[in-house]
Amino acid sequence: MVEQRDGRRRTRRAALAVSLGTLGLFLSGCTLPSLHTENKWWNQTMNFGFPEGITPEGIAIREFWTLTVITSLIVGFFVWGLIFWSMAFHRKKKGDEEFPRQTGYNVPLELVYTAVPFVIISVLFYFTVLTQNKALHLAPEDQVGVKVDVTAYQWNWKFGYNRVNDVGGVTIEDGTNHEAQRAAEEAGVLSDEQREALGHDGEPAAGGPIHGRLAEDKSFLYYNNIETVGTSEEVPVLVVPTDTRIEFRLASADVVHSFWIPEFIYKLDVMPHPGSNQQLSMFQVERIEREGAFVGRCAEMCGTYHAMMNFELRAVSPEDFGRYIEFRQDNPTATNAEALEAIGQDPYATSTAPFKTGRSDTRDTNNIIENASAN
Protein backbone atom coordinates (compact mmCIF):
# COMPACT_ATOMS: atom_id res chain seq x y z
CA MET A 1 0.00 0.00 0.00
CA VAL A 2 2.70 2.47 1.15
CA GLU A 3 4.87 1.66 -1.84
CA GLN A 4 1.98 2.22 -4.18
CA ARG A 5 1.23 5.62 -2.63
CA ASP A 6 4.88 6.62 -2.86
CA GLY A 7 4.93 5.62 -6.48
CA ARG A 8 1.88 7.68 -7.25
CA ARG A 9 3.34 10.68 -5.42
CA ARG A 10 6.53 10.34 -7.43
CA THR A 11 4.58 10.22 -10.68
CA ARG A 12 2.60 13.29 -9.68
CA ARG A 13 5.76 15.19 -8.79
CA ALA A 14 7.37 14.22 -12.06
CA ALA A 15 4.28 15.37 -13.92
CA LEU A 16 4.36 18.72 -12.09
CA ALA A 17 8.06 19.17 -12.85
CA VAL A 18 7.51 18.34 -16.50
CA SER A 19 4.58 20.73 -16.87
CA LEU A 20 6.38 23.59 -15.07
CA GLY A 21 9.49 22.91 -17.14
CA THR A 22 7.46 22.92 -20.34
CA LEU A 23 5.80 26.19 -19.29
CA GLY A 24 9.21 27.74 -18.58
CA LEU A 25 10.63 26.49 -21.86
CA PHE A 26 7.59 27.71 -23.74
CA LEU A 27 7.79 31.15 -22.11
CA SER A 28 11.53 31.67 -22.44
CA GLY A 29 11.19 31.35 -26.21
CA CYS A 30 8.34 33.81 -26.18
CA THR A 31 8.17 37.43 -27.12
CA LEU A 32 4.92 39.27 -27.13
CA PRO A 33 2.97 38.82 -30.34
CA SER A 34 2.27 42.06 -32.16
CA LEU A 35 -1.34 42.38 -33.17
CA HIS A 36 -0.65 45.37 -35.37
CA THR A 37 -1.70 45.29 -39.02
CA GLU A 38 -2.00 47.76 -41.90
CA ASN A 39 -5.44 48.76 -40.66
CA LYS A 40 -5.35 51.91 -38.56
CA TRP A 41 -8.78 51.38 -36.99
CA TRP A 42 -7.83 47.85 -35.91
CA ASN A 43 -4.50 49.06 -34.45
CA GLN A 44 -6.19 51.79 -32.44
CA THR A 45 -8.78 49.34 -31.14
CA MET A 46 -6.03 46.91 -30.14
CA ASN A 47 -4.22 49.71 -28.25
CA PHE A 48 -7.17 49.85 -25.81
CA GLY A 49 -6.73 53.58 -25.23
CA PHE A 50 -2.93 53.65 -25.23
CA PRO A 51 -0.91 55.83 -27.61
CA GLU A 52 1.00 54.06 -30.40
CA GLY A 53 4.44 54.56 -28.88
CA ILE A 54 7.47 55.97 -30.68
CA THR A 55 10.25 54.08 -28.87
CA PRO A 56 10.91 50.31 -28.69
CA GLU A 57 10.35 50.58 -24.92
CA GLY A 58 7.02 52.34 -25.37
CA ILE A 59 5.88 49.86 -28.03
CA ALA A 60 6.80 46.94 -25.73
CA ILE A 61 4.75 48.49 -22.92
CA ARG A 62 1.81 49.06 -25.27
CA GLU A 63 1.94 45.45 -26.55
CA PHE A 64 2.09 44.15 -23.00
CA TRP A 65 -0.95 46.27 -22.17
CA THR A 66 -2.82 44.78 -25.13
CA LEU A 67 -1.96 41.24 -23.99
CA THR A 68 -3.07 42.01 -20.45
CA VAL A 69 -6.42 43.44 -21.55
CA ILE A 70 -7.09 40.50 -23.88
CA THR A 71 -6.23 38.02 -21.11
CA SER A 72 -8.55 39.88 -18.72
CA LEU A 73 -11.34 39.87 -21.31
CA ILE A 74 -10.99 36.11 -21.90
CA VAL A 75 -11.13 35.46 -18.14
CA GLY A 76 -13.99 37.95 -17.84
CA PHE A 77 -16.12 36.35 -20.57
CA PHE A 78 -15.50 32.90 -19.07
CA VAL A 79 -16.62 34.05 -15.62
CA TRP A 80 -19.62 35.99 -16.94
CA GLY A 81 -20.51 32.96 -19.04
CA LEU A 82 -20.54 30.70 -15.99
CA ILE A 83 -22.60 33.20 -14.00
CA PHE A 84 -25.25 33.61 -16.71
CA TRP A 85 -25.27 29.91 -17.47
CA SER A 86 -26.02 29.16 -13.81
CA MET A 87 -28.66 31.86 -13.69
CA ALA A 88 -30.38 30.65 -16.86
CA PHE A 89 -30.23 26.88 -16.53
CA HIS A 90 -30.10 26.24 -12.82
CA ARG A 91 -33.00 28.28 -11.54
CA LYS A 92 -35.35 26.90 -8.95
CA LYS A 93 -38.29 25.41 -10.83
CA LYS A 94 -41.89 25.12 -9.66
CA GLY A 95 -42.25 22.14 -7.39
CA ASP A 96 -38.55 21.92 -6.56
CA GLU A 97 -38.46 21.24 -2.88
CA GLU A 98 -35.05 19.69 -2.52
CA PHE A 99 -31.59 21.20 -2.71
CA PRO A 100 -29.87 20.53 -6.02
CA ARG A 101 -26.94 18.12 -6.09
CA GLN A 102 -24.11 19.57 -3.97
CA THR A 103 -20.62 19.43 -5.55
CA GLY A 104 -18.38 20.66 -2.73
CA TYR A 105 -15.02 18.93 -2.21
CA ASN A 106 -14.73 18.02 -5.85
CA VAL A 107 -10.96 17.63 -5.70
CA PRO A 108 -10.13 17.54 -9.43
CA LEU A 109 -12.28 20.62 -10.05
CA GLU A 110 -10.71 22.49 -7.14
CA LEU A 111 -7.23 21.61 -8.38
CA VAL A 112 -8.09 22.94 -11.84
CA TYR A 113 -9.41 26.26 -10.61
CA THR A 114 -6.38 26.67 -8.36
CA ALA A 115 -3.88 25.74 -11.04
CA VAL A 116 -5.35 27.75 -13.92
CA PRO A 117 -5.18 31.19 -12.19
CA PHE A 118 -1.65 30.31 -11.08
CA VAL A 119 -0.63 29.68 -14.67
CA ILE A 120 -2.31 32.94 -15.81
CA ILE A 121 -0.49 34.90 -13.10
CA SER A 122 2.84 33.23 -13.96
CA VAL A 123 2.52 34.17 -17.64
CA LEU A 124 1.56 37.78 -16.81
CA PHE A 125 4.37 38.01 -14.27
CA TYR A 126 6.89 36.69 -16.78
CA PHE A 127 5.93 39.31 -19.37
CA THR A 128 5.79 42.05 -16.69
CA VAL A 129 9.42 41.39 -15.75
CA LEU A 130 10.43 41.17 -19.42
CA THR A 131 8.77 44.50 -20.29
CA GLN A 132 10.00 46.22 -17.15
CA ASN A 133 13.60 45.17 -17.79
CA LYS A 134 13.37 46.55 -21.31
CA ALA A 135 11.87 49.87 -20.16
CA LEU A 136 14.41 50.40 -17.35
CA HIS A 137 17.51 49.19 -19.22
CA LEU A 138 20.46 51.60 -19.05
CA ALA A 139 23.11 50.99 -21.73
CA PRO A 140 26.73 51.94 -21.01
CA GLU A 141 27.91 55.49 -21.65
CA ASP A 142 29.59 54.83 -25.03
CA GLN A 143 26.33 53.56 -26.53
CA VAL A 144 24.44 56.73 -25.60
CA GLY A 145 24.16 59.16 -28.51
CA VAL A 146 22.70 62.17 -26.71
CA LYS A 147 22.49 62.98 -23.03
CA VAL A 148 19.78 65.49 -22.19
CA ASP A 149 19.54 67.24 -18.83
CA VAL A 150 15.99 68.09 -17.79
CA THR A 151 15.29 70.67 -15.12
CA ALA A 152 11.71 71.07 -13.94
CA TYR A 153 10.57 74.09 -11.98
CA GLN A 154 7.28 75.76 -11.08
CA TRP A 155 5.94 75.91 -13.82
CA ASN A 156 8.14 75.23 -16.76
CA TRP A 157 11.08 73.27 -18.12
CA LYS A 158 14.73 73.79 -18.97
CA PHE A 159 16.53 71.36 -21.28
CA GLY A 160 20.28 71.16 -21.79
CA TYR A 161 22.66 69.05 -23.87
CA ASN A 162 25.19 67.39 -21.61
CA ARG A 163 26.80 65.15 -24.23
CA VAL A 164 26.50 64.42 -27.93
CA ASN A 165 28.31 61.37 -29.21
CA ASP A 166 28.86 61.75 -32.97
CA VAL A 167 25.30 62.46 -34.07
CA GLY A 168 25.01 64.03 -37.53
CA GLY A 169 28.78 64.55 -37.39
CA VAL A 170 28.64 66.55 -34.15
CA THR A 171 30.30 65.62 -30.87
CA ILE A 172 30.12 67.42 -27.54
CA GLU A 173 32.38 65.76 -24.99
CA ASP A 174 31.34 67.91 -22.07
CA GLY A 175 28.38 70.24 -22.43
CA THR A 176 28.45 71.37 -18.80
CA ASN A 177 28.52 75.10 -18.20
CA HIS A 178 31.24 75.02 -15.56
CA GLU A 179 30.95 78.72 -14.82
CA ALA A 180 27.26 78.45 -13.96
CA GLN A 181 27.93 75.25 -12.03
CA ARG A 182 30.64 76.95 -9.97
CA ALA A 183 28.44 80.01 -9.35
CA ALA A 184 25.70 77.72 -8.03
CA GLU A 185 28.20 75.94 -5.78
CA GLU A 186 29.40 79.24 -4.35
CA ALA A 187 25.92 80.72 -3.93
CA GLY A 188 24.93 77.70 -1.84
CA VAL A 189 27.58 78.27 0.83
CA LEU A 190 26.74 80.19 3.99
CA SER A 191 28.73 83.34 4.57
CA ASP A 192 30.34 83.84 7.96
CA GLU A 193 27.84 86.59 8.79
CA GLN A 194 24.90 84.39 7.83
CA ARG A 195 26.34 81.60 9.92
CA GLU A 196 26.69 83.88 12.91
CA ALA A 197 23.27 85.46 12.48
CA LEU A 198 21.65 82.02 12.45
CA GLY A 199 23.39 81.21 15.68
CA HIS A 200 23.64 77.46 15.27
CA ASP A 201 26.89 77.34 13.39
CA GLY A 202 25.67 75.66 10.24
CA GLU A 203 23.91 72.85 12.05
CA PRO A 204 20.86 71.38 10.33
CA ALA A 205 17.67 73.19 11.34
CA ALA A 206 14.18 73.38 9.92
CA GLY A 207 14.19 75.90 7.06
CA GLY A 208 17.82 76.71 7.85
CA PRO A 209 21.11 75.56 6.43
CA ILE A 210 21.76 71.91 5.60
CA HIS A 211 25.29 70.61 6.14
CA GLY A 212 26.63 74.14 6.10
CA ARG A 213 24.82 74.99 2.87
CA LEU A 214 21.83 77.23 2.32
CA ALA A 215 18.41 75.64 2.02
CA GLU A 216 18.14 77.40 -1.37
CA ASP A 217 21.28 75.67 -2.61
CA LYS A 218 20.87 74.82 -6.32
CA SER A 219 24.25 73.28 -7.00
CA PHE A 220 22.70 69.82 -7.45
CA LEU A 221 21.05 70.98 -10.69
CA TYR A 222 22.58 70.54 -14.15
CA TYR A 223 23.95 73.52 -16.06
CA ASN A 224 24.81 73.30 -19.74
CA ASN A 225 26.22 75.55 -22.45
CA ILE A 226 23.29 74.86 -24.77
CA GLU A 227 20.00 75.23 -22.97
CA THR A 228 16.36 75.70 -23.94
CA VAL A 229 14.13 77.40 -21.40
CA GLY A 230 10.37 77.78 -21.58
CA THR A 231 8.47 80.92 -20.62
CA SER A 232 4.78 81.56 -20.03
CA GLU A 233 4.54 82.76 -23.65
CA GLU A 234 6.70 80.06 -25.25
CA VAL A 235 6.43 76.33 -24.81
CA PRO A 236 9.96 74.90 -24.65
CA VAL A 237 10.81 72.65 -27.61
CA LEU A 238 13.30 69.88 -26.86
CA VAL A 239 15.05 68.89 -30.09
CA VAL A 240 16.33 65.30 -30.29
CA PRO A 241 17.51 63.03 -33.11
CA THR A 242 15.69 59.92 -34.31
CA ASP A 243 17.44 56.51 -34.39
CA THR A 244 19.78 57.42 -31.54
CA ARG A 245 19.97 56.19 -27.95
CA ILE A 246 19.03 59.10 -25.68
CA GLU A 247 19.52 59.44 -21.95
CA PHE A 248 17.40 61.83 -19.89
CA ARG A 249 18.75 63.03 -16.53
CA LEU A 250 16.08 64.66 -14.41
CA ALA A 251 16.23 67.12 -11.52
CA SER A 252 13.77 69.58 -10.06
CA ALA A 253 14.61 73.07 -8.81
CA ASP A 254 11.72 73.08 -6.33
CA VAL A 255 8.93 70.55 -5.74
CA VAL A 256 8.39 67.07 -7.20
CA HIS A 257 7.37 67.11 -10.87
CA SER A 258 7.05 64.29 -13.40
CA PHE A 259 8.53 64.11 -16.89
CA TRP A 260 5.95 62.61 -19.20
CA ILE A 261 5.88 62.23 -22.96
CA PRO A 262 2.67 60.26 -23.57
CA GLU A 263 4.11 58.73 -26.76
CA PHE A 264 6.96 57.21 -24.69
CA ILE A 265 4.24 55.49 -22.61
CA TYR A 266 6.61 56.12 -19.73
CA LYS A 267 7.04 58.81 -17.13
CA LEU A 268 9.45 59.42 -14.30
CA ASP A 269 9.22 61.64 -11.24
CA VAL A 270 11.51 64.65 -11.22
CA MET A 271 12.89 65.13 -7.72
CA PRO A 272 14.81 67.94 -6.06
CA HIS A 273 18.13 66.63 -4.68
CA PRO A 274 17.70 63.31 -6.54
CA GLY A 275 20.85 61.91 -4.96
CA SER A 276 19.73 62.49 -1.38
CA ASN A 277 16.25 61.29 -2.26
CA GLN A 278 17.56 57.87 -3.31
CA GLN A 279 15.95 58.36 -6.66
CA LEU A 280 17.17 56.87 -9.91
CA SER A 281 16.79 60.14 -11.76
CA MET A 282 17.46 58.99 -15.30
CA PHE A 283 16.15 56.78 -18.05
CA GLN A 284 17.06 55.95 -21.62
CA VAL A 285 15.22 55.26 -24.83
CA GLU A 286 16.84 52.99 -27.38
CA ARG A 287 15.71 55.23 -30.21
CA ILE A 288 12.85 57.38 -31.41
CA GLU A 289 11.41 55.63 -34.41
CA ARG A 290 9.94 58.52 -36.38
CA GLU A 291 10.28 62.26 -36.84
CA GLY A 292 7.59 64.56 -35.52
CA ALA A 293 6.32 66.79 -32.74
CA PHE A 294 5.15 65.06 -29.58
CA VAL A 295 3.58 66.76 -26.61
CA GLY A 296 5.17 66.46 -23.16
CA ARG A 297 3.59 67.25 -19.82
CA CYS A 298 4.21 67.47 -16.12
CA ALA A 299 2.39 64.51 -14.60
CA GLU A 300 2.76 65.32 -10.92
CA MET A 301 0.43 67.88 -9.36
CA CYS A 302 2.92 70.63 -8.54
CA GLY A 303 0.87 73.72 -7.79
CA THR A 304 -1.30 76.43 -9.32
CA TYR A 305 -0.13 76.24 -12.95
CA HIS A 306 0.69 72.54 -13.05
CA ALA A 307 -1.78 71.98 -15.89
CA MET A 308 0.08 74.52 -18.03
CA MET A 309 3.51 72.95 -17.59
CA ASN A 310 3.79 71.53 -21.09
CA PHE A 311 6.66 71.07 -23.50
CA GLU A 312 7.28 69.57 -26.89
CA LEU A 313 9.63 66.84 -28.00
CA ARG A 314 10.74 67.53 -31.58
CA ALA A 315 12.31 64.48 -33.18
CA VAL A 316 14.37 65.37 -36.26
CA SER A 317 16.78 63.35 -38.42
CA PRO A 318 20.32 62.90 -36.99
CA GLU A 319 21.65 65.14 -39.81
CA ASP A 320 19.22 67.95 -38.91
CA PHE A 321 20.05 67.47 -35.25
CA GLY A 322 23.76 67.92 -36.05
CA ARG A 323 22.94 71.13 -37.92
CA TYR A 324 20.78 72.33 -35.04
CA ILE A 325 23.55 71.81 -32.47
CA GLU A 326 26.10 73.47 -34.75
CA PHE A 327 23.82 76.49 -35.18
CA ARG A 328 23.38 76.81 -31.43
CA GLN A 329 27.12 76.50 -30.83
CA ASP A 330 27.88 79.14 -33.46
CA ASN A 331 25.09 81.50 -32.32
CA PRO A 332 25.07 81.40 -28.53
CA THR A 333 22.70 84.37 -28.27
CA ALA A 334 20.19 83.09 -30.82
CA THR A 335 16.90 81.69 -29.54
CA ASN A 336 15.79 78.08 -29.83
CA ALA A 337 13.12 79.26 -32.28
CA GLU A 338 15.78 80.74 -34.56
CA ALA A 339 17.79 77.52 -34.43
CA LEU A 340 14.69 75.52 -35.35
CA GLU A 341 13.98 77.86 -38.23
CA ALA A 342 17.58 77.49 -39.43
CA ILE A 343 17.09 73.76 -39.96
CA GLY A 344 13.73 74.22 -41.67
CA GLN A 345 11.58 73.27 -38.68
CA ASP A 346 8.57 75.03 -37.18
CA PRO A 347 10.10 77.54 -34.76
CA TYR A 348 7.43 77.09 -32.09
CA ALA A 349 5.61 74.16 -30.56
CA THR A 350 2.96 72.63 -32.80
CA SER A 351 1.66 69.94 -30.45
CA THR A 352 0.60 72.29 -27.64
CA ALA A 353 0.06 76.02 -27.08
CA PRO A 354 1.02 78.20 -24.14
CA PHE A 355 -1.65 79.21 -21.67
CA LYS A 356 -2.40 82.61 -20.23
CA THR A 357 -1.18 82.47 -16.68
CA GLY A 358 -2.83 85.69 -15.45
CA ARG A 359 -5.80 84.75 -13.27
CA SER A 360 -7.97 87.69 -14.31
CA ASP A 361 -7.83 86.92 -18.01
CA THR A 362 -8.37 83.19 -17.66
CA ARG A 363 -11.67 83.66 -15.86
CA ASP A 364 -14.07 84.09 -18.74
CA THR A 365 -12.03 83.80 -21.91
CA ASN A 366 -10.29 81.05 -23.75
CA ASN A 367 -7.05 80.67 -21.82
CA ILE A 368 -4.89 79.57 -24.72
CA ILE A 369 -2.66 82.31 -26.10
CA GLU A 370 -3.92 82.35 -29.67
CA ASN A 371 -0.97 83.01 -31.93
CA ALA A 372 2.07 82.38 -29.78
CA SER A 373 2.93 79.30 -31.80
CA ALA A 374 1.20 80.24 -35.00
CA ASN A 375 3.57 82.93 -36.22
- Per CB under 5 A, residues contacting Cu ion are 257, 298, 302, 309
Separation CA 39–CA 168 (nearest Å): 34
Other beta carbons within 10 Å of 358 = 10
Whether 165 and 143 have beta carbons less than 8 Å apart is answered as: no
Q: Where are the beta strands (DSSP E) in 130-191?
A: 146-153, 156-167, 170-172
Q: Which secondary-structure segment (H or E) carries 354?
A: none
CB nearer Cu ion, residue 155 or residue 321: 155
CB nearer Cu ion, residue 257 or residue 328: 257
The nearest distance, CB 356 to Cu ion, in angstroms, is 18
CB nearer Cu ion, residue 237 or residue 299: 299
CB nearer Cu ion, residue 234 or residue 269: 269
CB nearer Cu ion, residue 64 or residue 159: 159
The nearest distance, CB 368 to Cu ion, in angstroms, is 19
Separation CA 316–CA 332 (nearest Å): 21
Separation CA 54–CA 316 (nearest Å): 13
CB nearer Cu ion, residue 309 or residue 337: 309
The nearest distance, CB 177 to Cu ion, in angstroms, is 24
CB nearer Cu ion, residue 170 or residue 309: 309
Per-residue HEC secondary structure of 231-279 comes to CCCCCCEEEEECCCCEEEEEEECCCCEEEEEHHHCEEEEECCCCCCCCC
The nearest distance, CB 308 to Cu ion, in angstroms, is 10
Whether 43 and 52 have beta carbons less than 8 Å apart is answered as: yes
| Start-end of H helices in the chain | 2-28, 40-46, 56-89, 107-136, 178-187, 192-198, 318-330, 336-342, 359-362
The nearest distance, CB 226 to Cu ion, in angstroms, is 23
The nearest distance, CB 214 to Cu ion, in angstroms, is 23
The nearest distance, CB 296 to Cu ion, in angstroms, is 11
Question: Who's near 312: CB < 8 A, 6+ residues apart?
Answer: 235, 236, 237, 238, 293, 294, 295, 296, 349, 350, 351, 352
Whether 286 and 294 have beta carbons less than 8 Å apart is answered as: no
| Backbone Cα Rg of the chain | 29
Other beta carbons within 10 Å of 224 = 23
CB nearer Cu ion, residue 160 or residue 209: 160
The nearest distance, CB 257 to Cu ion, in angstroms, is 3
